[in-house]
Amino acid sequence: MDKNVEVFMDEIIRKNPGEKEFHQAVQEVVESLMPFIEKNPKYKKAKILERIAEPERVIMFRVPWLDDNGEIQINRGYRVQMNSAIGPYKGGLRLHPSVNLSILKFLAFEQVFKNSLTSLPIGGGKGGSNFDPKGKTDTEVMKFCQSFMTELFKHIGPDTDVPAGDIGVGGREIGYLFGQYKRLANEFTGILTGKSLNWGGSLIRPEATGYGCVYFAEEMLKTRKESFKDKICTVSGSGNVAQYTTEKLNQYGAKVVTLSDSSGMIYDPEGIDDKKLAYVMDLKNIKRGRIKEYAEEYNVDYYPDKRPWEIECDLAFPSATQNEINKKEAQKLIDNGVMGVAEGANMPTEADGVETFLDAKILYGPGKAANAGGVATSALEMTQNSQRLSWTREEVDKKLQWIMQNIHQSCVKYGKEGDFINYVSGANIAGFVKVADAMLDHGVV
């Protein structure tokens, strides 16, 4: 490891003990940035890197609620307000039992660079709770959301911090959170994105992360004069991002052969066509069932506790969670001839897996570039809310496509290494410059 990176990381680890996901996210970025910063001493002198790795504010709070049996439940809520140099804090809320400060700090840190890459005026933040929505009734989810917002509402606002969905937070949760905010603040404002259409949401926001990821992959493919036609794709997860990645891949003539959840994966060599995808959407979004049921419905193989990376494919779309591809799995994908990996999830590949992809010189689109379409469309939702207007589906989709192409160009600009495009350093440097320059303008704050 570069000496400067080592010194920097020692300090990060000392200041943030035990936060391994946060260390991982910072290290990846710092490895890309250090050579650039050495060449641009103004950033070094102003200690931009040291400041960018320190959240502006972290809020942690108790979330008490009554379950359906009348028993008191206590969860922990968080909002990490990482950086507001280029706009109000923006980033999702995650509800999952694994949520802790390290995970939310890594996500908020990534979000700063991702949001900058979109070219829209949004800072970075992330929040959530260790609440597990699985197996809870609608009433319990509502009670949790109301209690969570009772504290969170003090810290957010349309020009301060605008949360959205992430794992475990979809339309239902955003509705309950919005309802409680409106009641407490006595204001109807765009304090959340991912809202329903009839009360301030944007068309295409539900689809945006998955569609955006496929648009980004399309740009990567074009650099090798390739297209999606007849490409075999593996997708992990079966939630929001996985579903709309599959939908767009189908539209582009590719064949998606896997989906998964935290219990296991299904392999459907015939492809998950639109009809089967409609079944998945109903299963996951309405019935809240398990992906195993797909295997029973369509008579295909189900592999408990397995991830899709051993299946031969041309393109892989990790769309479930962090660290879902280890080095061995990355190597297996390469050995099976994978041409590209586009990350719908945030940091789905472990650090040595990323190295494996870069060494093999495949098309590797890291999450902060490839999945930025979700937050970008959230920013478009904010714009529509400010204007009190709604754009058409075509308008929003066109803007999303343009944004993903633009992000790709930024990655090329900063990541070109001879014939190879290193999208990791490209995304990290491009995302950094805008935020760092704004911080320089704002003085020592």
Q: Decide which of ligand NDP, ligand 2IT, none touches 344; Cβ closer than 5 to 8 Å per partner kind.
A: ligand NDP
- What does the alpha-carbon distance between residue 205 and residue 166 come to, in Å, rounded to a whole number? 12
| Residue in this structure with the two tokens 């579903």, named with its chain if needed | 243
- Phi/psi for 376 (5° steps) reads -60, -45
Q: Provide the minimum distance between the beta carbon of 226 and ligand 2IT in the complex, in angstroms, as a whole number.
A: 27
Q: Near ligand 2IT by CB under 6 A, which window of 34-42, 86-94, 128-136, 348-356?
A: 86-94
- What does the alpha-carbon distance between residue 95 and residue 75 come to, in Å, rounded to a whole number? 10
Q: Which of 319, 349, 384, 385 binds ligand NDP (CB under 6 A)?
A: 319
Q: Near ligand NDP by CB under 6 A, which window of 59-67, 140-148, 238-246, 398-406?
A: 238-246
Residue 367, SS3 per DSSP? helix
Q: Near ligand 2IT by CB under 6 A, which window of 87-95, 176-184, 322-330, 357-365?
A: 87-95
166 binds ligand 2IT (CB under 6 A): yes
- What residue type is 236 in one-letter code? S
399 binds ligand 2IT (CB under 6 A): no
Nearer of residues 371 and 385 to ligand NDP, judged by Cβ = 371
Residue 145, SS3 per DSSP? helix
Q: Provide the minimum distance between the beta carbon of 242 and ligand NDP in the complex, in angstroms, as a whole number.
A: 6
Strand ranges inside 131-223, DSSP E: 161-165
143-153 as b/e, with b when 16 or more CB fall inside 10 Å? bbbbbbbbebb
Q: Which of 88, 92, 128, 212 binds ligand 2IT (CB under 6 A)?
A: 92
378 binds ligand 2IT (CB under 6 A): yes
Q: Judge whether 381 and 190 are in contact, CB under 8 Å.
A: yes
Q: What is the DSSP letter of 165?
A: E
Nearer of residues 212 and 426 to ligand NDP, judged by Cβ = 212
- What does the alpha-carbon distance between residue 216 and residue 387 come to, in Å, rounded to a whole number? 28
**126 is a catalytic site residue:** yes
375 binds ligand 2IT (CB under 6 A): yes
Q: Provide the minimum distance between the beta carbon of 240 and ligand NDP in the complex, in angstroms, as a whole number.
A: 4
- Tally the residues of the chain: 445
Tokens standing for 173?
A: 């949760």
Q: What is the DSSP letter of 285?
A: I
Catalytic residue among 105, 114, 126, 195: 126
Q: Decide which of ligand NDP, ligand 2IT, none touches 262; Cβ closer than 5 to 8 Å per partner kind.
A: ligand NDP
Q: Which of 88, 91, 124, 318 binds ligand 2IT (CB under 6 A)?
A: 91
Q: Decide which of ligand NDP, ligand 2IT, none touches 147; Cβ closer than 5 to 8 Å per partner kind.
A: none
Phi-psi region at 167: left, alpha or beta (left = phi > 0; alpha = psi -120 to 50): beta
- What does the alpha-carbon distance between residue 204 and residue 211 come to, in Å, rounded to a whole number? 9
Residue 264, SS3 per DSSP? strand
Tokens standing for 327?
A: 């080095």
Site mask, ligand 2IT, residues 9-48, x = CB under 6 A?
----------------------------------------
371 binds ligand NDP (CB under 6 A): yes
Residue 195, SS3 per DSSP? coil
Q: Near ligand 2IT by CB under 6 A, which window of 89-97, 129-137, 171-179, 196-204?
A: 89-97
Q: Which residue sits closest to ligand 2IT, CB atoms considered?
A: 92
| Structural Rg of the chain based on CA atoms | 21
Q: Which of 84, 102, 146, 193 binds ligand 2IT (CB under 6 A)?
A: 193
Nearest to 131 by CA among 119, 110, 115, 145: 145
Nearer of residues 83 and 378 to ligand 2IT, judged by Cβ = 378
Nearest to 374 by CA among 38, 161, 115, 59: 115
167 binds ligand NDP (CB under 6 A): yes
Residues of this chain that bind ligand NDP (CB under 6 A): 96, 98, 165-168, 170, 209, 237-242, 261-263, 319-321, 344-346, 371, 374
Q: Which residues are catalytic?
A: 126
